[in-house]
Structure 1
Amino acid sequence: MRWEFKQITAEDVEILPRFFNLRSNKTCDSVFLDSFLWKDYYHVEYCVCDDKAVEWKMTVKNEQFAAIPLCKEEDLPYYFFDTKKYFNEVLGQKLAIYLADEEAVRILDLDPSEFSVTEQVDAADYLYDGESMRTLAGKKYHKKKNHVNGFRKEYEGRYEYRTLCCSDRNDMWKFLDRWRSMKGTQLEGTLDPEVEGIHSILNHCSDLGVRMGGVYVDGQMEAFTMGSYNQVEDMAIIHIEKANPDIRGLYAFINQQFLVHEFPDVTLVNREDDVGLPGLRKAKQSYNPIGFVKKFQIREL
């Protein structure tokens, strides 16, 4: 058969990353780790086509849909319509694509009589200046710097930032269990699948090239974060950031220190979207984003 889709696994880190680097893309979906994190929730499957592209298929609540193919810019129209052909002829349904990046939409320039293209407003990623996020210099970051300094002062001699590795996974698991209990009934929607995705990353972290950092207070982990690097855009993508909300300034502290230690030179930082949650939106806006990465839904009419 022309299309042979398979479920994404940790071993695919040997196959897929080179395809992510074939064209410019500033979304959080532009690196392997994001697909791996959500592989179980979205039932992510992929197909390598002609050794030139990767086509996608996902399934949630009995709905099958795709993502924009990974390929060179000049090949995108061909593999987009090849994906459409698979959905039409094999699955017997019209094509639906979620989280299409703005550049892909521009390249495809789809006929509005054949496709609807709708912006997914709550899915836009927040972009930040790397140096500003590391230094927190200037009036715009005065409050954030105060939060960081407040944490340092209150916990002086009691805290430690550590670059984490696979051997620290037990500390992360224990903290994650505590964090889930703190959230209680708030843990709805995609948060529970996110926790499952974190466990999957930790089970395979030696294979995935994930960058991780944690903050310990009185010898106990109270925050950790995970990120990956988009070399085409010289951009850090912060996939996961969890901290004890009862410790004032801890989120601001780990946010800064993770970039200082794990991404000391990156130009851009992508902190993903706010999924339309007011609290998360306020937190992300408080870091003075320099721009947003728009995403779109494409549907065959």
Structure 2
Amino acid sequence: MKWDFKKISAEDVEILPRYFAMRSNKTCDSVFLDSFLWKDYYHVEYCICDGGRAVEWKMRINGEPFAALPLCKAEDLRHYFFDTKQYFNEVLGQKLKIYLADEAAVELLKLDPSEFDVIEQPDAADYLYDGEALRTLAGKKYHKKKNHVNAFMKEYEGRYEYRTLCCSDRSDMWRFLDRWRSMKGTQVEGTLDPEVEGIHSILNQCSMLGVRMGGVYVDGQMEAFSMGSYNAAEDMAIIHIEKANPDIRGMYPFINQQFLIHEFPHVKLVNREDDVGLPGLRKAKQSYNPIGFAKKYKIRER
């Protein structure tokens, strides 16, 4: 069979990262860990095509099949886009739907509007930041953030510690995640629990994935942690996960800053993902003064 799809697994960290690096992409979807984090929620499967020239995707949510853009060189993108379309049309008997297509790819594809609708997904745009600005919090724009960080450091002086985390710290992260999730109660966004399950999957396979992790402890107890990836082609840190105790003033800006200082001390660009259309999250992300956005689009075959 031409298309041989398989479920994504931790072992694929040995295979897939080189495909993600084949084309410039500043979205959070440009690294392996993002696909792994959501693999169960979206039923992620991939297929290596033509002896390793490209990777094609298929996914599913609420029974509806859709795809992500193929991973390949820029000059091959149109070919594998239409190859994915052929799979959807001929094998699945479905019209092609692609979510989270990056802006550069949309420009490369130059799709005929009589054949495809290309619709911007504003709630899915990733926030991009200057790495040095988030590490130093210098200047008037970051005055409030710096005040919150200083207030935390003063109140908990001698009682807090930032630690680079490794796989042996997973039990601390699990315990904190349970506490953090219980603080949220039942009034939460729809993808929160799948995200928590994805974090558990990462921690269970931590040694294979090479994820960068950091945490803040107060009085010996974890009160925040973060997980990230590095996109070398863009010199960009991607912050996939950031969880902190909201009752501790300054904890969120402190873990934000310290994670970058310790785990990504030189990156030029920081991607802190999207706000999924939530007003509170949007306000929080805007408060860090983004320098741009990685826009994303839905492509739908007519």
* TM class, shorter-length: over 0.9
> Pairwise mapping of residues 40-55 of structure 1 onto structure 2 (< 5 A)?
40-50=40-50, 51-55=52-56
Residue 186 of structure 1: SS of its match in structure 2?
Answer: coil
Answer yes or no: is the 8 Å Cα contact 1:160–1:215 preserved in 2: yes
Question: Does structure 1 residue 32 correspond to structure 2 residue 32?
Answer: yes
- Indicate the larger mover: 66-75 or 178-187: 178-187
Q: State the 1:186 CA deviation.
A: 2.5
Separation of aligned partners in 2, 1:130 and 1:62: 39
Q: Which position in structure 2 is the counterpart of 1:66?
A: 67
Matched AA of 1:128: Y
Q: Which position in structure 2 is the counterpart of 1:165?
A: 166
Question: Does structure 1 residue 22 correspond to structure 2 residue 33?
Answer: no
> Pairwise mapping of residues 1-301 of structure 1 onto structure 2 (< 5 A)?
1-50=1-50, 51-301=52-302
1:141-164, Cα deviation, whole Å (9 max, x unpaired): 000000100000000000000000
Flag structure 1 segments of 5+ consecutive residues without an equivalent.
Answer: none
1:226-260, Cα deviation, whole Å (9 max, x unpaired): 00000000000000000000000000000000000
Answer yes or no: is the 8 Å Cα contact 1:229–1:237 preserved in 2: yes
- Indicate the larger mover: 11-20 or 184-193: 184-193
Separation of aligned partners in 1, 2:46 and 2:262: 34
Answer yes or no: is the 8 Å Cα contact 1:8–1:44 preserved in 2: yes
Separation of aligned partners in 2, 1:27 and 1:293: 5
Separation of aligned partners in 2, 1:110 and 1:185: 42
Separation of aligned partners in 2, 1:111 and 1:71: 21
Matched AA of 2:16: L
1:7-56, Cα deviation, whole Å (9 max, x unpaired): 00000000100000001000000000000000000000000001110000
1:247-277, Cα deviation, whole Å (9 max, x unpaired): 0000000000000000000000000000000
Q: State the 1:300 CA deviation.
A: 0.4
Runs of 4+ in structure 1 displaced over 4 angstroms?
none
Task: Say what the alpha-carbon RMSD is for the aligned residues.
Answer: 0.4
1:92-111, Cα deviation, whole Å (9 max, x unpaired): 01000000000000000000
Residue 207 of structure 2: SS of its match in structure 1?
Answer: helix
Answer yes or no: is the 8 Å Cα contact 1:100–1:295 preserved in 2: yes
Matched AA of 2:235: D
Residue 118 of structure 2: SS of its match in structure 1?
Answer: strand
Q: State the 1:125 CA deviation.
A: 0.2
Identity over the aligned pairs, expressed in percent? 84
Flag structure 2 segments of 5+ consecutive residues without an equivalent.
Answer: none
Separation of aligned partners in 1, 2:224 and 2:53: 40
Answer yes or no: is the 8 Å Cα contact 1:31–1:228 preserved in 2: yes
Q: State the 1:188 CA deviation.
A: 3.6
Q: State the 1:179 CA deviation.
A: 0.5
Matched AA of 1:231: A
Separation of aligned partners in 1, 2:257 and 2:156: 16
Aligned residue pairs total 301
Normalising by the residue count of structure 1, what TM-score does the alignment of the two structures yield?
1.00
Q: State the 1:187 CA deviation.
A: 3.2
Answer yes or no: is the 8 Å Cα contact 1:210–1:226 preserved in 2: yes
Matched AA of 1:19: Y
Separation of aligned partners in 2, 1:205 and 1:146: 35
Separation of aligned partners in 1, 2:297 and 2:98: 8
Residue 185 of structure 1: SS of its match in structure 2?
Answer: coil
Normalising by the residue count of structure 2, what TM-score does the alignment of the two structures yield?
0.99
Answer yes or no: is the 8 Å Cα contact 1:227–1:239 preserved in 2: yes
Residue 257 of structure 2: SS of its match in structure 1?
Answer: helix
